[in-house]
Structure 1
Amino acid sequence: MLASTQGRTLVTGSAPPLVVDLDGTLLRSDLLLETGMAFLRSHPLQLLKPFKWLANGKATLKSRLANATHIDVNVLPYNREVIALIETARSAGRSVVLATASHHSLAERIAEHLDLFDSVLASDEKTNLSSHRKRDLLVEHYGVQGFDYIGNSHDDISVWAAARMAYVVDPESGVERRARAQGNVEQVIRTAPSAIKDWTKALRLHQWMKNLLILAPMLAAHQLTNLNMLWQSLIAFLLFGLCASSVYLLNDLLDLADDRHHHSKRHRPFASGRLSIKFGLFAFPLLLITAFTGAALLLPWEFCGVLAAYYILTLAYSLSLKRQMAIDVIALALLYTIRIIAGAAALNLELTFWMLAFSMFMFLSLALVKRYAELREARRKGHTEKTRGRGYYPDDLEMISSLGAASGYLAVMVLALYIHDQGTVALYARPQLIWLACPLLLFWITRIWMLTHRGQMHDDPVVFAVRDRISLVVGALFCLVFWAAS
C-alpha cells in the first residue's frame, strides 16, 4: 500500500499540497532504527534475523520489523516546529500529505495520532518509498513543481528537485548545500541543540564517579603512596569508564520505549531525539572495543575477565534482569561490587571477605533506594499497576523500604565485625578508632532512607550523595576516621 487517505475530505486551495517527510523531519528519530532496537530488546536471541530479512530488500526488512514490534506513537519525539509549520499550512486551506519511506502501518498510526494529514504515502512490503521512488510517486500525484516538500536527508535531494519549494529541517551533513544549489529552498529549520552537551549526558560522565570504587582495594591495602599502583588504578578507572559509557549508550537505545514513559528519563538525548540512534549504534561498540583493547594491552588479563563479566551482567540487566523482581536490585549491587573486584584484579591485590560483604549489603540498600524513589513517584501519580519496565507494584513500597534499611544496617554490622578481625588489628595502629565510623554510617543510611521516604531523593542515590553537602561531609569524616586509625 503506497497511498492511503485519512478519514477526512481533502482540502484544496490555490497553493499546492505541503508534503512532509517523517524520519528526521516530522519525527526526531528514525522508525527503521526504532523498530530495530525494539526487536532486539524483545528478541535478543534473534539478533541475526533482521539481516536475513534485509537480504530480501529494505522494504521487506521494514515490513517484518514493523509487524514484529509495537511502537507507541503517542510518545515519539515529534518536531514541534515542523508541526507548527503544518498547522499554519492547514489554517491557510492547504492539503498536507505525509510521504515517508517508513512502513505504512506506522505512518498511518502516526497520521491518525496527530490528525494533521489529509493522506499518507508510505512503503509497503514490496516498495521502499525513498529518494527517486518517492519523487516519482509525488510527481505522478501532483506533477512537477506541484507540491512543496519538507525533508532533511540526502534521499530528499531528488524530491526537492521536483518540488516547487523546499523546506530543509535539521539537515544532515552536506544536505543544505546541495539543496540550496537547486535554487528553491524556502526555509531552513534548525532545532538540534548542542551535541557536546547531549553526548556528555548520554555518556553519563558524571556516573564515572562510581568507578572510584576501583581505588578501594588499593586504599584498603594502604598502598595509596605506591605510584605504580596508583597509575595502574587510574588506567583501570579510565578503561572501566569507557566500558560503562558504552553500556549506558546501549541501555538507552534498548530502553527508548520505557524512557519515554518516565517522568524524567524521557528527556534523555536518545529518547527525546536530540541524538540520533545511528550515532549511538556507532559509538557504543567503538567505546567497548577501545576499553577492551586498552585492558588487554595495559593491564593483567584478570582485569579483562572482570570487565567482560561487568559487560555481560550489564547487558543481561538491560535485556531482562531489570524487569525481574528482587533479581534487579541484586544485579545492581553486584555491578557496584564488580568495580571493587576490578580494582583488585588490576593491581593483583587480594580481596577480603569484609570488603565484599560490606559492598553487597551497602549497594543493595542503595539499589532499593532507587526502586523506592521510582515507585513512590508512580504511587503519587495514582498508578496501581506494575511499573513499566520493572517487576514491582506501587504497593510494594513498604516492603522495599524495610528490605533497604535492613540491608544498609547489615553493612554497618559488617563494618563493626571487621574491626575485630585479626587482619584489621595487624593493618591498623589504632583499629578501635574505626568504631567512630559506625555511627557516621548509621546516620547517613538513616538520613538517605528518610529523605527517600519524603520524596526528596534523586533517581540515582549515588549522584545524590555526590551533590549533597551533608553526604560529602559525612564521607570526609568517614575517611578521616580510617586515616586516624592507620
Structure 2
Amino acid sequence: MRLVESADVPESPQRQEDTQDRDTQTRRRPLADLAALIRPSHAAKAILLVPVALIGAAPPTPAEVVEVMWATVAFMVASAAVYIGNDIADRHRDRLHPVKRHRPVAAGRVSVLTAAACCAVLLAVLAAVVARSPAASWPVLVYLVLNVAYTRLLKHLPLIDVGTVAVGFVLRVLQGYEVTGDRVPGWLLITVFSMSLLLLIGKRRRELLEGGAPHRPALRGYSMELTNWLLQIASVLALVSGLMYLRDEGPFGPQHGQTAMMLSTPFALFALFRYLQLQLVHKEGGDPVRVLLRDRVMVANSVVWAAVLGVTLLLVHL
C-alpha cells in the first residue's frame, strides 16, 4: 500500500531544517567558488618572501614596513589574477586531472565570463597599487609578463616550465628589496630559486604519478628517474646556498654569521630530509604550500629553527 502525503499537511521540522540547510549551501557555494579562484592559501608565498627584505642588520623604519606591506599586497593581487587566468586557459586540461577537475572553472561552477571579470577587477586593483610607486614595482610587472608567456608557451617546455615558475618566487624577494632600497643578497636569491625548484620538481613528480602527460604536456619530458636526480641536485644547491647566505650576507653580520650557519645546519638538513621523505615514502608533495604549512613535523621544525635564529639575532643586536 502506497501512502501519498497530502499537500495540506505541513512539513516536519526536520524536513524544514534540511531544506534551509540546502538553501544556505546554495547561497554560500558561489562565494566559496569565487574565493577558491584566487587560491587564498597561496598568498603565503608573498607574505613569506616579500617581507624578507625587512630582516637586516638594522631595524626597519616605519616607512619601509609600510612600503613592504604594499608590495606584499601587490604580489598577492597579481598572483591571484594569474591563477584565474591559468584556470581559464587550462580548464580543458584540468578536467583530466583527478584533483584539478574540481576547480571552479574546470568543474563549470564558475563561468569563463565571471572568472574573466574577477581577473579584470584584480588587475584594476593592482594598477591602483602600482600607481603609488611605478618605478619600484618593476618586479611585479615582470611577474605578470612572465606568467603570460608561461601560460601561452613556456609551461609546455620541459625544465623551462619549472625554471619560469621559480623565477616568480625570486621576483617576490626582489620586490621587497626594491621598495626598501637595500642591497639584494646574491646567496639569498640562489637559495629561493633552488628551493622553489625543489618544490616544483616534487610537484611534477607527483603529477607523473597521478595523471601524466594528458593533463600537462610538459610531463612528456620528465620521468621518475629524472625527477629523483633533479630533487637531489636542487636539495644540495638549496642547502649550500642557504647556509652561505647566513654566513656571508645574512642579518647576523660577519662576526656571528658562522654561528648562525652552524646552528641552522641541523634544522635545514632535517627540513630537506622530511620533504624527501614525504615525496619518496609517503607519496605526497603535490601541493607544496600544503606540505610546508600543514605538515606538523615541518611546521614544528620551522618554528624551533626560527626561534633559535630569532634569539641569536636578538643577542647580536644587544
Aligned to 2:141: 308
Q: Which of 373, 392, 395 lines up with 2:206 in the alignment?
A: 373
Q: Which of 167, 176, 188 lines up with 1:343 in the alignment?
A: 176
Aligned to 1:22: none
- 8 Å CA contact retained: 1:192, 1:274: no
- 8 Å CA contact retained: 1:253, 1:270: yes
TM-superposed CA distance for 1:389, in Å, is 2.5
**Residues 46-195 of structure 1 mapped to structure 2, 5 A cutoff:** 194-195=29-30
Aligned to 1:277: 112
Q: Which of 54, 63, 67 lines up with 1:218 in the alignment?
A: 54
Q: 1:267 and 2:102 equivalent?
A: yes
Percent identical pairs in the alignment equals 24
Aligned to 2:263: 436
More helix, by proportion: 2
Secondary structure at the aligned position of 1:336 is classed as helix
The 1:466/1:301 distance shift into structure 2, 3 A limit, reads same
Secondary structure at the aligned position of 1:440 is classed as helix
What is the RMSD of the two structures over their aligned residues, measured on CA atoms? 2.3
Which stretch has the larger CA shift, 268-277 or 457-466? 457-466
Work out the CA distance in 1 between the residues paired with 2:182 and 2:114: 39
- 8 Å CA contact retained: 1:321, 1:327: yes
The 1:238/1:428 distance shift into structure 2, 3 A limit, reads farther
Work out the CA distance in 1 between the residues paired with 2:112 and 2:252: 54
The 1:425/1:232 distance shift into structure 2, 3 A limit, reads closer
Secondary structure at the aligned position of 1:375 is classed as helix
Q: Which of 390, 405, 416 lines up with 2:243 in the alignment?
A: 416
Residues 408-458 of structure 1: per-residue CA shift (max 9 Å, x gap): 221111123334427766366464133121221111112212211235424
Amino acid in the other structure paired with 1:411? A
Aligned to 2:307: 480
Work out the CA distance in 2 between the residues paired with 1:356 and 1:388: 31
Work out the CA distance in 2 between the residues paired with 1:424 and 1:231: 20
- 8 Å CA contact retained: 1:416, 1:438: yes
The 1:224/1:316 distance shift into structure 2, 3 A limit, reads farther
Aligned to 1:10: none
TM-superposed CA distance for 1:388, in Å, is 3.0
The number of aligned residues is 288
Aligned to 1:288: 123
Any unmatched runs of 5+ in structure 2? 1-24, 314-318
- 8 Å CA contact retained: 1:208, 1:241: yes
The 1:302/1:395 distance shift into structure 2, 3 A limit, reads closer
Secondary structure at the aligned position of 1:253 is classed as helix
What TM-score does the superposition give when structure 1 sets the normalisation length? 0.56
TM-superposed CA distance for 1:223, in Å, is 5.2
The 1:195/1:292 distance shift into structure 2, 3 A limit, reads same
TM-superposed CA distance for 1:249, in Å, is 0.7
The 1:217/1:191 distance shift into structure 2, 3 A limit, reads closer
Q: Which of 167, 190, 196 lines up with 1:357 in the alignment?
A: 190
TM-superposed CA distance for 1:342, in Å, is 0.9
The 1:237/1:423 distance shift into structure 2, 3 A limit, reads closer
Aligned to 1:332: 165
Amino acid in the other structure paired with 1:335? G
Q: Which of 232, 237, 258 lines up with 1:405 in the alignment?
A: 232
Work out the CA distance in 2 between the residues paired with 1:418 and 1:430: 9
Secondary structure at the aligned position of 2:107 is classed as coil
The 1:318/1:283 distance shift into structure 2, 3 A limit, reads same
More strand, by proportion: 1
TM-superposed CA distance for 1:330, in Å, is 0.6
Work out the CA distance in 2 between the residues paired with 1:406 and 1:295: 37
Work out the CA distance in 2 between the residues paired with 1:394 and 1:451: 23
TM-superposed CA distance for 1:336, in Å, is 1.0
What TM-score does the superposition give when structure 2 sets the normalisation length? 0.83
- 8 Å CA contact retained: 2:68, 2:179: yes
Amino acid in the other structure paired with 2:310? W
- 8 Å CA contact retained: 2:139, 2:175: yes
Aligned to 2:19: none
Q: Which of 265, 272, 292 lines up with 1:445 in the alignment?
A: 272
Amino acid in the other structure paired with 1:217? A
Work out the CA distance in 2 between the residues paired with 1:417 and 1:458: 27
TM-superposed CA distance for 1:363, in Å, is 0.9
The 1:438/1:331 distance shift into structure 2, 3 A limit, reads same
TM-superposed CA distance for 1:391, in Å, is 1.6
- 8 Å CA contact retained: 2:80, 2:122: yes
The 1:254/1:431 distance shift into structure 2, 3 A limit, reads same
Work out the CA distance in 2 between the residues paired with 1:455 and 1:395: 21
Work out the CA distance in 1 between the residues paired with 2:66 and 2:252: 29
Secondary structure at the aligned position of 2:217 is classed as coil
Amino acid in the other structure paired with 1:236? A
Q: Which of 284, 290, 301 lines up with 1:457 in the alignment?
A: 284
- 8 Å CA contact retained: 2:57, 2:251: no
TM-superposed CA distance for 1:287, in Å, is 0.7
- 8 Å CA contact retained: 2:185, 2:249: no
Residues 390-415 of structure 1: per-residue CA shift (max 9 Å, x gap): 32249711211211222122111112
Q: Which of 274, 296, 307 lines up with 1:469 in the alignment?
A: 296
Work out the CA distance in 1 between the residues paired with 2:179 and 2:247: 28
The 1:394/1:323 distance shift into structure 2, 3 A limit, reads closer
TM-superposed CA distance for 1:200, in Å, is 1.2
TM-superposed CA distance for 1:273, in Å, is 1.0
Which stretch has the larger CA shift, 321-330 or 222-231? 222-231
